Amino acid sequence: MKKFNLAITIKSFNSDSLSRYDLKKNCIISFLNTTGRHLTEPELIEALKQADGVIAGTERFSQKVLKSSPRLKVISRVGVGLDTIDLEVAKKYKIKICSTPESPVQAVAEHTLALLFSLMKHIPMYNSNMRTGNYQLRPGSLLYGKTVGIVGMGRIGQKVAAYLAGFGCRIVYYDPFVQKEMPVTWEKMTRLEELVKISDIITLHSPPQQDGSPIITAELMEKFRRGVIIINTARGSILDEQALMKGLDSEIISGAGLDVFSYEPYAGSLLKYPQVIVTPHVSSNTLESRNQMEMEAVDNILTAIKDVVQ
């Protein structure tokens, strides 16, 4: 039986992990990304020339990339979102797509709360000010008693809701596709406009729209309750960043916690706002979750080998 030819194109992969050892026993690793960054389209095409499968991050598998990879049979994504893969083209070429939906849930939910607490308690401001001898006080806010609107009630949205309910928050949510029965105290909104009108905090956990358009638009922000806090640890495209800045300028939005952006690495105008706390798309990047995601991605590859290698 011939060995499976594998490319590892994700920008970071734990080369010392047991998962790597398992791969070496079962595969020929023809490419390993050591650049520390996302591969460009030409680099990705070159990396996949001999590949039967790939362990991927959020690099873009465009129509051109997939068409240029005739041997490719499986893409094993380390993470949840598949928006960087042209799924229609992958289906046409019968390329199996796998992801790791369970692994990042805990880490992303905790990061969401970390951003929220940092905003409400002004922790970055105090940390910075005290180092320069500035002891000016600014009242914080209680999380207890706040109405939290959750947009997207998948695994991560549900975990965040459970945590915030434990802090004494009222949970309202919008997700037209959710099937699972939720706790009776969590209130389902039939329209997004209803949710934003009553929410003190809005946290986004929705997948991106197929056309890349925002879910949280300028028109929707006009209906926000004044002083709202918004958190986005999902995808940058679902939040209109220009409208967000206008909302911050008018103080309709009192603060934002952002881990994802319209383009990354981000160096845009949102960085000028002290009431915006930013992190560089790292919400799932804990040692524990990262290891679990890599192992799950490897398991997906090893399972695929049985199906595609004769």
Q: How many CB atoms lie within 10 A of CB 112?
A: 27
Catalytic residue list contains 235: yes
Which residues in the chain belong to E strands, given as ranges?
A: 4-8, 27-32, 53-56, 74-77, 96-98, 147-151, 170-174, 187-188, 201-204, 228-232, 253-258, 276-278
Block residue for tokens 């603060």 = 255
Say how many CA atoms lie within 13 Å of 21 toward its Cβ.
Answer: 3
- Which residue in the list 102, 251, 264, 288 is annotated as catalytic? 264
Nearest-angstrom CA–CA distance, 18 and 33: 18
- Which residue in the list 38, 122, 205, 235 is annotated as catalytic? 235
Closest alpha carbon to 30 in 2, 3, 8: 8
Catalytic residue list contains 187: no
Nearest-angstrom CA–CA distance, 138 and 121: 9
- Which residue in the list 77, 111, 205, 281 is annotated as catalytic? 281
> 281, 115 in Cβ contact below 8 A?
no
Catalytic residue list contains 281: yes
> 9, 297 in Cβ contact below 8 A?
no
Catalytic residues: 235, 264, 281
